[in-house]
């Protein structure tokens, strides 16, 4: 290769390498490094597509109960185990019918393509199984709120998330063990 051809190809090689680097960074930004779940941006893009195609989809919002106390009492490594276990259990529950995401801290989201998808009670049971950590079994409780898109006057992700959030806080407020609430109109 002559000098002139090499000089002309170097910017192209640099641009190609930089483009590959940026693509990798974008992909990584759409996945939570701890749980492997989609981040807010990645989950939202997929959820919007599901909403356009599936009129009877169900949106869920989940929050780990007493997460700060778990971290304070058992350390941040125990908190990481709780987050990872929640992600794994939620992903398994969604299966091929939906997708799960972590939108920050101890908050998770999911969307299931059909209301005939997996049972919410089975999700709550799976999420509330104790965690094995350092030879101990730590309790795990998660409040879950859900919203069927078909129940909304206008099918939008933001409205579904707001309704699921209200239902989740209603679940947090009920007496006894945490559970699942569905917003009903």
Annotated catalytic residues are 106
Burial of 19 (0-12, 13-18, 19+ CB in 10 A): exposed
Residue position matching structure tokens 């190609």 = 16
Reading the block at residue 51, the tokens are 């909403």
Q: What is the CA radius of gyration of the chain?
A: 21
Chain length of the chain: 185
Q: Where are the alpha helices (DSSP H) in the chain?
A: 3-29, 40-53, 67-74, 76-94, 120-127, 157-173
């Amino acid at each position: 290769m002559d000098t002139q051809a090499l000089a002309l190809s170097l910017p192209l090689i640099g641009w190609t390498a930089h483009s590959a680097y940026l693509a990798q960074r974008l992909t990584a930004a759409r996945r939570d490094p701890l749980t492997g779940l989609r981040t807010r941006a990645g989950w939202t893009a997929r959820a919007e597509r599901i909403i356009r195609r599936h009129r009877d989809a169900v949106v869920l919002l989940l929050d780990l109960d007493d997460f700060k106390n778990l971290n304070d009492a058992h350390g941040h490594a125990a908190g990481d185990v709780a987050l990872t276990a929640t992600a794994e259990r939620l992903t398994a529950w969604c299966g091929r019918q939906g997708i799960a995401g972590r939108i920050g801290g101890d908050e998770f989201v999911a969307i299931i393509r059909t209301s005939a998808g997996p049972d919410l009670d089975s999700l709550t049971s799976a999420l509330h199984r104790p965690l094995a950590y350092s030879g101990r079994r730590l309790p795990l409780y998660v409040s879950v709120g859900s919203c069927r898109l078909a129940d909304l006057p206008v099918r939008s992700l933001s409205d579904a998330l707001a309704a699921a959030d209200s239902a989740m806080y209603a679940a947090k407020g009920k007496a006894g063990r945490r559970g699942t609430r569905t917003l009903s109109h």
